[in-house]
Structure 1
Amino acid sequence: MFIEEKLSISQRHNYLSLIEEGIFFRAYNQSAYILNQYYHQDLKVISNVVKKLNNQQIVFCAFPKTQIKQRLPHSVKTEWGCELKGNFELSNYQDWFEHILSLDSDSTYIKNINNKKVNNDANSLKKQEKILQQQLSSTMNDSLVSPIFYNIQLTQQQLKFLYKWQRGNCLPIIMENFIESIKQQLPKN
């Protein structure tokens, strides 16, 4: 099955579509979103660029076929894999998709740093962390003068990041991108 067919099947309205590929079921784009957001599957979502589709970016996740009844017991077998019909709201799909792409670009950034062997010794990281703490402290002090409250809804991915976050185990660029993703929800002044 060609990637165009897989993407077409995966974007059907009100369906979660799992494409059978070897020993795995793969979910692409909208189906990957439904699988992770509605069924709370803790699967690694990977992004990729499809050159034969004019460098279109896609995302996908997978799990072994042997786990289908555990993960999605009501799924129905099809000629190309499995599907599950439902009333799936996709209004947050684009934000989720862009967040996945930004997470992947963070790992690309990290790989590039490692490949170039940039000198990121402990002192350099401590300096960066100190600068970020000063900026945060300054911002917090400014907001204490006139408190303003916003209703911000975090995505499942953002909540998962916060839940797993530990001080010192995150590069500053990743934290900056996380904060930027939340900041985008704030009203423009």
Structure 2
Amino acid sequence: MEIEQRLALSENPINFLREGLFLKTYNQSFYVMTQLLGFNIKPIIKHIKKLDQIIVCGGFPANIINKRCPKAVSTVYGYELLDDYDLSG
């Protein structure tokens, strides 16, 4: 999956994108996970030359998704957490 697709999927509240044995969240999804849900995930900050954009991402091993997020729904690209989050702040 290209970085553009990953960033587009991350505009929905929370999408965990499968990358090998890990699930990663990007930008807005990362913000919701760490700031609103209180997950302790180390941020990785990257500059994407192709987009001339800085992104923030982070993740955890895919095998603990049910422990961390029991309400997560499996999708083609990984998992999604369906809920309504206040992003006004």
TM-score, scaled to structure 2? 0.95
Separation in 2 of the partners of 1:32 and 1:25? 11
Q: Residues 6-21 of structure 1 correspond to what in structure 2 (within 5 A)? A: 6-12=6-12, 15-21=13-19
Q: Mind listing any 5+ residue stretches in structure 2 that lack a counterpart?
A: none
Which is richer in helix?
1
State the shift of 1:38 in Å. 2.3
1:29 maps to what in 2?
Answer: 27
Q: CA RMSD in A?
A: 0.9
State the shift of 1:45 in Å. 0.9
Which is richer in strand?
2
Q: Mind listing any 5+ residue stretches in structure 1 that lack a counterpart?
A: 93-189
Shift >2 Å, 4+ stretches: none
Which residue of the other structure, out of 54, 67, 73, is the alignment partner of 1:57? 54
Which residue of the other structure, out of 71, 74, 80, is the alignment partner of 1:74? 71
SS state at 2:76 partner: coil
Separation in 2 of the partners of 1:23 and 1:11? 23
The count of aligned residue pairs is 89
State the shift of 1:67 in Å. 1.0
- Choose between structure 1 and 2 for higher RCO, CA contacts under 8 A separated by at least 6 residues: 2
Rg comparison, structure with higher value: 1
TM-score, scaled to structure 1? 0.46
1:87 maps to what in 2?
Answer: 84
